[in-house]
Amino acid sequence: MKRLVLAIDQGTTGTRAMVYNENARVVGSAYREFKQYFPKPGWVEHDPEEIWRVTKAVMKAAVKGRRIAAIGITNQRETTVLWDRVTGKAARRAIVWQDRRTASVCERLKKRGMERTVRAKTGLVLDPYFSATKIRWMLDNDAGLKKKAASGRLAFGTIDSWLLWKLTDGQVHATDLTNASRTLLLNIKTGQWDRQLLKIFGVPKSLLPRVLSSGSEFGWTKEGVPIRAMIGDQQAALFGQACYRPGEAKNTYGTGCFLVSNTGKKFARPPRGLLATLACDNVGEKSFAWEGSVFVAGAAVQWLRDGLGLIGNAAETERLAKSVPDTGGVVFVPALAGLGAPYWNASARGLISGLTRQTTRAHLVRATLEAIAHRSADVIEAMGRRLRALKVDGGATANGFLMQFQADLLGIPVLVSEFSESTAWGAAKLAGIGTGVWKHAAAADRKLKYRRFLPKMSRAEAARRRREWRAAIERTART
């Protein structure tokens, strides 16, 4: 009987479960969205209990009663969950990575001169994106939680830890290095929670999970299935795309865009505006990477659909973009949750310029897709390294217009993975290697195939487009 591996891909807007066989073929899958909460401008929350219910439902639908050899978990990173160790229930709604409510806390820490220390130890910047200030906000704004934290009854985790706790029936409180490296609390050089960082952010160590390598044995479900991989979504995509060697990079087009470049087994200081983070090598052990995080990509298309009602679904955007020769002078900077890399401007707000009476929804849609490509180009330029090609994955890679425009802006081939769900594949591959479904990464990587988009635009025209974009970014920063 063929051995099957289950990947749980817990994302920002929904949870996907995918079952892979020994030939790396998907033999079962299920997806379900869950509710997004926006209590105030700039605030984004999820219900951890709903995420768990949805996760159980998609697991059941994808597995269909078949025997599973191993489970790999990958997840939205930085999103912060607190729960009661005794009841096993979430203490409140989770604060999502997109949430900006702690911007003022970050500014105060910067004024105290803390950013240099934080960046040296974590590879990150002081930004509300990460988990530490979210934890502190929860404790400062709920006396009951603060009391439970002091007594040791409260547990913290990113979503991977929360799912692991639930899958093991409260037996295991752990995370992996990649998720831990996104909290502002882990020293990425030592791979340990850092006492000085805990003091800076006022986070009790008793809250924290145990930290393991991504390819570790994390525990067993009640049904006796081993959980053999846990890895943050962007690092999972890097692993899924077989970017094991220094200089290899991938870009994932999801709710946001996340470009990650492998830098090898030794720490390398990232260029200004980019982050250093932890990834894993071809067997799931610690390695380093540079990352550029764009907060809004697919979320901008979602806003066109849900906020403005301009489209019925994301699939319409390619046809609409191609129905006009250009944007008609419209430029959209989708700073709907501030600007991430390489600008790190939490107060920036979205900007649409160049509107006229001739502007149509097709122009706005095209400007939105072009903006996604421009923001990715911003990150790649900040990296300062000439890429031979860019491997890409994520739902938006199905949009041929976006992929072609990305290749045109960068002047290099864009390679679209046949596995658009490279995040899930990365988690499954790592879990499968850990349980012997595949002997090594190379055995699984033989299944990888790519669709190529080659640049067609002249370099002079691409440079002109980039100049226009930078001018729009400057206007956004002043708003």
Under 8 Å between Cβ of 258 and 292: yes
Write the DSSP assignment of 383-433 as a string of letters. HT---S-EEEESGGGG-HHHHHHHHHHHTS-EEEES-S-HHHHHHHHHHHH
Residue 140: per-residue pLDDT: 94
Residue 407: per-residue pLDDT: 97
Q: Please list, in sequence order, all residues whose beta carbon lies within 8 angstroms of the beta carbon of residue 182, skipping any fewer than 6 positions away.
A: 77, 78, 124, 130, 131, 158, 232, 277
> What total number of domains does the chain contain?
1
Residue 44: per-residue pLDDT: 94
Establish if 451 belongs to a structural domain: no
Residue 46: per-residue pLDDT: 97
Phi and psi at residue 60, to the nearest 5°: -60, -45
Instruction: Tell me how far apart the alpha carbons of residues 37 and 31 are, in angstroms, rounded to a whole number.
Output: 20
Per-residue pLDDT of the chain (479 residues; tens, 9 = 90+): 469 999 999 998 899 999 999 888 899 999 999 999 999 988 999 999 999 999 999 999 999 999 999 999 999 999 999 999 999 999 999 999 989 899 999 999 999 999 999 999 999 989 898 999 999 999 999 999 999 998 999 999 999 999 999 999 999 999 999 999 999 999 999 999 999 999 999 999 999 999 999 999 999 998 899 999 999 999 999 999 888 888 888 998 988 898 999 999 999 888 988 999 999 888 888 999 999 989 889 889 999 999 999 999 999 999 999 999 999 999 999 998 888 889 988 788 899 999 999 999 999 999 999 999 999 999 999 988 778 889 998 888 999 999 999 999 999 999 998 776 888 999 999 999 989 888 888 877 776 778 999 999 999 999 999 999 999 998 886 65
Under 8 Å between Cβ of 277 and 33: no
pTM: 0.85
Establish if 204 belongs to a structural domain: yes
Under 8 Å between Cβ of 240 and 231: no
Residue 153: per-residue pLDDT: 94
Q: Which of 62, 46, 60 is nearest to 14 (CA)?
A: 46
Establish if 299 belongs to a structural domain: no
Establish if 300 belongs to a structural domain: no
Amino acid at the residue 257: C
Establish if 470 belongs to a structural domain: no
The residue count of the chain comes to 479
| 452's tokens | 């190529």
Q: Would you give the end-to-end CA distance of the chain in angstroms? A: 61
Establish if 75 belongs to a structural domain: yes
CATH label of the domain that carries residue 213: 3.30.420.40
Q: Please list, in sequence order, all residues whose beta carbon lies within 8 angstroms of the beta carbon of residue 281, skipping any fewer than 6 positions away.
A: 244, 265, 287
Establish if 477 belongs to a structural domain: no
Q: Please list, in sequence order, all residues whose beta carbon lies within 8 angstroms of the beta carbon of residue 1, skipping any fewer than 6 positions away.
A: 67
Establish if 252 belongs to a structural domain: no
- In the three-class reduction of DSSP (H, G, I as helix; E, B as strand; rest coil), residue 246 is classed as coil
Instruction: Tell me how far apart the alpha carbons of residues 206 and 260 are, in angstroms, rounded to a whole number.
Output: 31
- Please count the helices (runs of H) and the strands (runs of E) in the chain: 16, 23
Instruction: Tell me how far apart the alpha carbons of residues 166 and 288 are, in angstroms, rounded to a whole number.
Output: 29
Burial 358-394 (b: 16+ CB within 10 A, else e): ebebbbbbbbbbbbbbbbbbbbbbbbeeebebbbbbb
Q: Which domain holds residue 30?
A: 5-234
